[in-house]
Structure 1
Amino acid sequence: MASVLLSKLDVGYLEKCSGDSGINYGIIIGQNIKPESFLVVHLAKNCEEDMEILLKGNENELSQGPTCIAEISSQALATQWISASKMCPGSFNVQGVFVTSEKQNLDDENTYLAAKKMLHNLQTILIQSNVFCASIDEDNLTLIFLAYSAANKKAICQGYTHDIMGGSFATMNCHFIDKPMGWHTFECCYELDEIFPIFDDSQRINIENQFQRALLAMKRSLSESEMFIENIWVDESLPLDGFVASNRKKVVNEHYKATIFLPVKCHQYNEHSVKVRKFNGTIRLSGIIFSKIWCSNRNTLGDVKRFVQTDILRSLAARIQVYCDGLTDPHVTNDSVFISEPPRRVFFNLFADGTVNPIQFSEYIFRGEAPTVAVAQAKQVLDLDISLENIIADLEGLPDDEIFSDVSLSNLQKNSAQPIVNTAKYLTRSMYILSITISLLVLLCSIWLHYFFA
């Protein structure tokens, strides 16, 4: 039977949420440590009712939050789910929904029917949302539904499996961890410089579809890459605790450096190995992506590699999503030139009862934006109270101003308008001229020598 691991801090947070009136709900962020074992890392209450003032017919009467599971907004959960997915490191995912109540008994058939309908609507919205992160993250086959009632101090877990008929529930065990989990930090500074051709021959190209293809191409390339940790190639099947024991850094929460080497594809020349295709444009992605993931001793080095790859792709997808959200029209002409500076990544720690958690989540801010944007997002999406001092904003630097200046754009347009020169043709002509010149010099030398010795 599948199990869910909760810490004492998680139980305390559920108690706090259930102390409010009515029904409170939110998302579960965790990690699959085994095929049927889920470790809860963070619980985040949905703060939509706290951020908005909803009025009923009488303007002086404030509307109440949901009083039962059937009144929970699946759209509000989906919005929080998508936003939190961008902020999670690659080692964690949004894996389910929790519901708390102060007085209601949440262990009955009506609760399960309402929860099943809510999760079905939520999963349908996520599938139809067409978010870039959805094409990167692996689909969660099982979603966790956690119900906690303060009346009987009882937590109930169910595993939801989605299908078109409404889905189904399977019972899951709740286990409580006494000791906090020890985490190891892995960092990777990934230098991105890729060019992806656009083969769409339409007059107006859907740029979102092209970004989607670029992300999938990067996903395939990273899946074939090799990873070195502390400049050492490692066996992916090796448990992480074995690696830590044999490594010189044996202290929990040490930062390990990971390096990714992309494959070099070499083809033997034959008539079928090389394909020449016409393309109508390119997408160039360049810059530095700083990646951070956290693993426990229950993970393997194969998990570390997969988590780092996921974090790089998720970070890139989040920046592309921000760019596409600002487009008034996703269709562009195939002769247009666009240069965009993506937002940079900033990190902040998790906090629980004043205790700093070594795990960090992230947010993205543009040039000129203050870190207060990350503070507001952490509260609204993750229900975290952080200060500006907790923001780590110097891991990704700002690009040079010259890259995004008007001069560079005009030079790019000027260079792109120049015709392609047939270098082979001009090289052959130069060789002919050089040969004729040498022949004339030899002829003149021969004539001079002939008359000199005559």
Structure 2
Amino acid sequence: MVRTIYAPEYCLQYLEQYASKGPYVIGLIIGQITESRENVVHLAKTPEEKSPDVVSESSFTSEKSDLLRDILGLSETWVADHAKHVTRMLPGGLFVQGIFITSGEEIFEDPNYFSKMKSVLNYTHKALSANPYMYGSYPHSNERLILHMSTNTKVLTCKSVEVGTGIKTSIKPVEWKFLAKPQQWQCLECYFEFDDIYPVVVKKSGISVKQQFQQILESAHKTIESSVMFIDGELKQDSEPLEQINKKKKLKSSTKTAQDTPKSMNVSLFVPFQNSLPDTVEYLECDGNIHFSGVVASSVFMYPKATVREAIDAVKQDIIRSLASRFTMHSPAEALLSVKELLDVQITEGDVICDVETPADTSEFDALDGSDTCSEEILATPQEASQFMYITGICFAMFVLVVSILIHYYDVIMLFISKLLPRS
């Protein structure tokens, strides 16, 4: 059976638009895979790779620009880095399903071009698999898409390729169906509250803030994975479709609405209570603690025929992905520019929903700290901390000694000063 992809009609118009520009255009395929259907929601053009500023002869510059315009000169790491940034912006349940390319060359017929596209897919797969908390786990299979539109004939061809399997890969044809009518999606909203205290153990070599955040992320992932999800206050069966839940709600409701748009579902995650201590208890001498508290707001959009199990995985993944992204979050202005450049979507600040949650305002701290800080802040080692306390103690003791001498010999000092004043 041929694999079928469903996409909105504007994706076809998007491809035709770029098929008439430049020698080639490459980008990412973004969508959602469920057991009932595979949907593509957006195509995001990869920004053009900027050639390094090299002071050289014009002939070398011309050769460099020609290389960038050739598919064989495409950088795999550049596309993989684009996929990493885009995945961070996606809600849970949405993934980078593959790449698209518009060019005059027939990439499936020429082994050199096809080998290049497979290399791009494998680099992207490796980059996203390196951090499952940030980029999630691709569901169901390890097959990725290569979608090609010829700039000469405007013919669309798509094939799926296995990634991460070595030299021998399975290649299968894929059929695309473009839908003129926009399809409805089911929204699930969840608020997950964190309120935990984590120990800080500083070793001789010190500890980085990034490593400390990674430990917090691993602990949060275990907590969320063990939680039980309720939809609208009820525990649902994993195999039940989301649209079936909406139908039951309509039957129970006596009022009829003119719109058939499904309402958002409220999701609650409950963590099982552990009433017993673990088998082994480890005691550590801590140098401090981190109070990790706050609320992560999650909004996930699912295909209505998706099951409750798939919705649970998407919500949990969205919380972990949001939490991991917050540890490396940009400023709001940079985030808006990233959306425009990386997703190829034209939006303004007025289109951004900011009433639910916003990043912390660090302008006061940025004003105090004019120097550039490194990405990994290293905490002080015990030796450095003890030296600082030792010097501080000596300075304070000297200050107390001077003050005590002045108080003890106050009368003598004042008499000596009074004898000096008449002489002057």
Q: Could you state the TM-score of these two structures normalised by the residue count of structure 2? A: 0.73
Q: CA deviation at 1:170?
A: 1.7
| Structure 1 residue 315: Cα displacement | 0.3
* 1:382 Cα offset (Å): 0.2
2 CA distance for matches of 1:171 and 1:228? 39
Q: Which residue of 2 aligns with 1:443?
A: none
More strand by share: 1
Identify the residue that residue 326 of structure 2 maps to in structure 1. 319
Aligned to 2:99: 97
Aligned to 1:287: 294
SS in 2 for 1:122: helix
Deviation at 1:114, TM superposition (A): 2.2
1:261 corresponds, among 270, 287, 290, to 270
Cα distance in structure 2, aligned partners of 1:40 and 1:400: 36
| Cα distance between partner residues in 1 of 2:241 and 2:89 | 27
Give, as a single letter, the amino acid of the residue that structure 2 aligns with 1:16.
Answer: Q
- Tell me if structure 1 keeps the 8 A contact 2:5–2:40: yes
Partners in 1 of 2:16 and 2:70 — Cα distance? 18
Q: Which amino acid aligns with 2:148?
A: A
User: 2:138 & 2:221 partners in 1: Cα distance?
Assistant: 11
% identity of equivalent residues:
24
Deviation at 1:209, TM superposition (A): 3.2
Q: Which residue of 1 is the match for residue 124 of structure 2? A: 122
Q: C-alpha separation between the residues in 2 aligned to 1:198 and 1:227?
A: 31
Shift of 1:321: 3.0
What 5-or-longer segments of structure 2 have no aligned partner?
Answer: 251-256, 366-385, 387-424
Asked which structure has the greater RCO (Cα within 8 Å, sep 6+), the reply is: 2
Aligned AA (1:32)? I
CA shift in 2, pair 1:87/1:65, >3 Å = farther
Deviates more, 1:283-292 or 1:83-92: 283-292
3-state SS in 2 of match to 1:151: coil
Opposite residue 133 of structure 1, the aligned amino acid is: M
Find the residue that maps to 1:273 and give its secondary structure.
coil
Q: Distance in 2 between matches of 1:399 and 1:119?
A: 36
Partner of 2:44: 44
The residue type paired with residue 184 of structure 1 is Q
Mapped to 2, the partners of 1:42 and 1:400 lie a distance apart of: 32
Q: Structure 1 residue aligned with 2:281, among 275, 278, 288?
A: 275
How far residue 100 of structure 1 moved from its aligned partner, in angstroms, is 1.0
2:22 is the alignment partner of 1:21: yes
Match of 1:108 in 2: 109
Counterpart mapping for 1:242-391 below 5 A: 242-248=244-250, 251-267=260-276, 273=279, 275-280=281-286, 281-322=288-329, 366=331, 369-370=332-333, 373-391=334-352
Q: In the alignment, what sits opposite 1:147?
A: 148
Instruction: Look up the match of 1:220.
Output: 222
TM-score (norm 1): 0.68
| 1:243-284 CA distance string (max 9 Å, x none) | 1111249832522221111121122x7xx7351421535443
- Tell me the secondary structure at the aligned position of residue 190 of structure 1: strand
Provide the rounded CA distance (Å) in 2 between the counterparts of 1:72 and 1:87.
24
| Counterpart AA for 1:2 | R
Q: Secondary structure at the match of 1:34?
A: coil
Secondary structure of the equivalent of 2:272?
coil
Alignment of 1:394 onto 2:355: yes
- The CA deviation string for residues 326-357 of structure 1, in whole angstroms up to 9 with x for no partner, is xxxxxxxxxxxxxxxxxxxxxxxxxxxxxxxx
Contact 1:17 1:45 in 2 (8 A): no
| Secondary structure, counterpart of 2:34 in structure 1 | strand
**2:171 matches 1:165:** no
Secondary structure of the structure 2 residue equivalent to 1:63: helix
What is the CA-CA distance between 1:208 and the residue it aligns to?
A: 2.8
Q: Contact conserved, 2:95 with 2:138, CA < 8 A, in 1? A: no
Q: What is the distance in 2 between the residues matched to 1:116 and 1:244?
A: 42
CA distance, structure 2, for counterparts of residue 209 and residue 278 of structure 1: 18
RMSD: 3.3
CA shift, 1:306, in A, is 1.1
Give 1:318 deviation, angstroms.
Answer: 0.5
Cα pair distance change 1:279/1:223, threshold 3 Å: farther
SS at match of 2:117: helix
Structure-2 change in CA distance of 1:106 and 1:6 (3 Å): farther
Q: Describe how 1:410-429 pairs up with structure 2 within 5 A.
A: none
Aligned residue pairs: how many? 351
